[in-house]
Amino acid sequence: MDILEKIRQEIAPDIDRLNALIADQLATSNPLMDNVIANYLKSKGKLIRPIIVMLSARLFGPVTDKVLRAAASVELLHNASLIHDDVVDGSTIRRGRPTVNAMWDNHIAVLVGDFFVSTSMQQAIVTGDTRIIESLCHLGKLLSLGELDQIYSARYHNLDEDAYFKIIEYKTASLFVACSQMGCYAQGIDDERKERLSEFARLLGLCFQIRDDIFDYFPAQQDTVGKPTANDLREGKITLPLLHVLRTGTDATNAEMVKLSKSPSLGENDIARLTAYAIDGGGIDYAYAVMDDMRTRAVALLDCFDESEAKKALIDLFGYIISRRY
């Protein structure tokens, strides 16, 4: 049993309540919508984001209906962003299954994603907490800006590490921050403890994306990961391992690799060369070192909290994010 599964078992009743709530709120009288949603829900993700909402809330008390609604709202918005991203990227596989756009078409996928967004907002409104509603709305804006920044960087071949971290902070870490904030707000917490949890979640989200980007460098793991690998380079996205080696490399081939990375289109051989260059140049090791440093800083942020199962689970979750195999 891996760490995440152990955490899920410890809060299984809350997860069951969450899944029931989401299924109930997504039910409609439209046969096509219900068919698409039923198929989509067959491949639930890891539920890491709502788990963060619930663990953050558990630091201060039990998981109430308000906490569940907040968790449902963020999970629904997250899935809406995935459905829309698959349309933008032309992806056909997600979580080891065909995407909505692949099984139906882009028109239906966009409408289903919009339906998830509306349902997400509805759940936030039901909490009656304007702070939760504001967090969700702000999150939606950051997710969009992150994707646009990534498209810009890919189009203009921006090889700046600060730009990379800004992108992943917006497109990924912002979601983790919102989760921790909503868990606090749902329990009536709005003080330094919320700020510490927010920073913990931000570092966790950054590590989640860095680890996700590392998967892309190992095509042999595609079946385990559940989605195509090497897609980032195909789409012109330069992630941390390769970015670091391109920016710090001093060998004779560095200039050639930098030029190659800026090509308007890359063939499979080009992708293989850049991937090997990143690995051989220590890019993967550098990325892991960055994550280890972030984990150390994040764990220290929780020193102000009493020892509890929830605190331990959050720390264990950070370790899982870095070491996960899918």
Tens of pLDDT, residue by residue over 29-73, are: 999 999 999 888 887 788 999 999 999 999 999 999 999 999 999
Q: In this predicted structure, what is the pLDDT of residue 153? A: 83
Q: In this predicted structure, what is the pLDDT of residue 89? A: 81
Q: For the domain that residue 145 is a member of, what is the CATH number? A: 1.10.600.10
Helix (H) or strand (E) holding 307: none
Residue in 75, 209, 91 with CA at minimum distance from that of residue 146: 209
Q: In this predicted structure, what is the pLDDT of residue 43? A: 79
Q: Are the CB atoms for 120 and 73 separated by under 8 Å?
A: yes
Q: In this predicted structure, what is the pLDDT of residue 265? A: 85
CA dist 41 to 45, 75, 103, 233, Å?
9, 12, 14, 30
Q: Are the CB atoms for 291 and 207 separated by under 8 Å?
A: yes
Q: How many domains does the chain have?
A: 1
Supply the range of the domain harboring residue 96.
Answer: 3-323
Helix (H) or strand (E) holding 219: none
100: three-class secondary structure by DSSP: helix
pLDDT band at 222 (very low <50, low <70, confident <90, very high): low
